[in-house]
């Protein structure tokens, strides 16, 4: 009996401690920078459920939004391009009046949407689907609801991703025993690669072509009776990369062809 009472007391104490330590932000305090914390994510979800409902695009949620924001929205009718007189409905939502009702990061996301008019600092929504003013006005309110829902979604993290990120952040960092070994191996490999490159580096190429005697003209051998024999023997011998020894060729006996 005492153990069960002790466990119940501990459970109640933990619940009270968790609710007291968890902070809930007001709509004006909830900016984009606070969405990175779990408290900011929880406050954003509670505010969206309170202002837009738990189910998206439900009729009751749109009616509640229409009744709560009727003071901050200006509605008007104008002539459309088709048939009918003053059937085009338009809503002008001034962001200065919405700052009292909506979270701050909603206002930031709405100011970056395609519906934002920077000259008047407001959001303009128009509809001319039908010839009825009431149906067009209802369509404008649906578009406004969708715009607010999209503005509330930007910056929110899914529940599973939030749990995974929090678990990853709370997980202790375990040092990898193979990291130092891998770093030393990489360093040795880099040193071997540089040494191999330095040892087996090929010699620089010269722009001059290799010396070939049989490609050069033999104008200096035109004197004397044995010019043809010497020139034939020189032409038959190819010297690549070195000059011929002319005195040695002159001293060696040459056979007649």
Helices (H) and strands (E) in the chain, counts: 10, 4
Higher pLDDT, 18 or 51: 51
In contact, 139 and 105? CB cutoff 8 Å: no
| Across 149-153, average pLDDT | 85
Question: Tokens for 10?
Answer: 């501990």
Residue 132 scores a pLDDT above 60? yes
In this predicted model, which residue has the larger pLDDT, 31 or 94? 94
CATH, domain 2-166, list 3.40.50.2300, 1.10.579.10, 3.40.50.300, 3.30.160.20: 3.30.160.20
Residue 197 has what pLDDT? Answer: 46
User: How many angstroms separate the CA atoms of 230 and 188, rounded?
Assistant: 61
CB 101 within 8 Å of CB 27: yes
Q: Facing residues of 124 across strands?
A: 92
- Distances in Å between the Cα of 153 and the Cα atoms of 56, 94, 106, 115, 157 are 12, 21, 9, 17, 8
What's the confidence (pLDDT) of residue 125?
Answer: 92
Whole-model pTM: value is: 0.51
pLDDT at 213 over 50: no
Count how many Cα atoms sit within 13 Å of the Cα of residue 217 in the half-sphere of its side chain.
3
The C-alpha atoms of residue 112 and residue 156 are separated, in whole angstroms, by 17
Kindly report the CA angle at 78 between 76 and 79, in degrees rounded to 5? 165
- Read off the tokens for 162: 């939030």
12 Cβ contact list (under 8 Å, min separation 6): none
pLDDT bin (cut points 50, 70, 90) of residue 151 is confident
- Counted residue by residue, the chain has a size of 257
Residue spans in the chain of domains classed CATH 3.30.160.20: 2-166
Chain centre to alpha carbon of residue 36: 18
Q: How far apart are CA 68 and CA 98, in angstroms?
A: 11
Q: Are 99 and 28 in contact (CB under 8 A)?
A: yes
Radius of gyration of the chain from its Cα atoms, rounded to whole angstroms: 45
8 Å CB contact between 241 and 211:
yes
| Position with higher pLDDT, 95 vs 30 | 95
Q: What is the mean pLDDT of residues 118-140?
A: 89
């Amino acid at each position: 009996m005492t153990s069960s009472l002790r466990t119940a007391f501990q459970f109640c104490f933990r619940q009270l401690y968790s609710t007291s330590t968890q902070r809930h932000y007001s709509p004006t305090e909830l900016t984009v920078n606070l969405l990175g914390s779990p408290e900011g994510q929880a406050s954003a979800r509670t505010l969206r459920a309170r202002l837009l409902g738990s189910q998206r695009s439900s009729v009751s949620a749109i009616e509640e939004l229409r009744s709560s924001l009727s003071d901050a929205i200006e509605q008007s009718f104008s002539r459309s391009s088709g048939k009918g007189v003053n059937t085009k409905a338009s809503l002008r939502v001034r962001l200065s009046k919405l700052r009292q009702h909506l979270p701050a990061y909603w206002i930031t996301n709405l100011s970056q949407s395609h519906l934002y008019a920077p000259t008047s600092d407001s959001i303009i929504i128009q509809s001319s689907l039908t010839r009825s003013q009431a149906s067009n006005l209802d369509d404008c309110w649906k578009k406004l609801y969708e715009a607010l829902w999209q503005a509330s979604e930007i910056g929110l993290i899914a529940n599973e991703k939030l749990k995974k990120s929090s678990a990853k952040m709370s997980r202790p960092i375990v040092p990898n025993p193979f990291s130092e070994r891998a770093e030393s191996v990489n360093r040795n490999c880099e040193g071997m690669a540089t040494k191999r490159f330095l040892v087996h580096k090929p010699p620089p190429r010269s722009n001059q072509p290799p010396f070939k005697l049989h490609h050069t003209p033999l104008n200096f051998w035109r004197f004397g009776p044995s010019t043809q024999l010497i020139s034939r023997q020189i032409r038959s011998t190819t010297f690549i990369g070195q000059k011929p020894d002319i005195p040695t060729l002159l001293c060696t006996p040459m056979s007649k062809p």
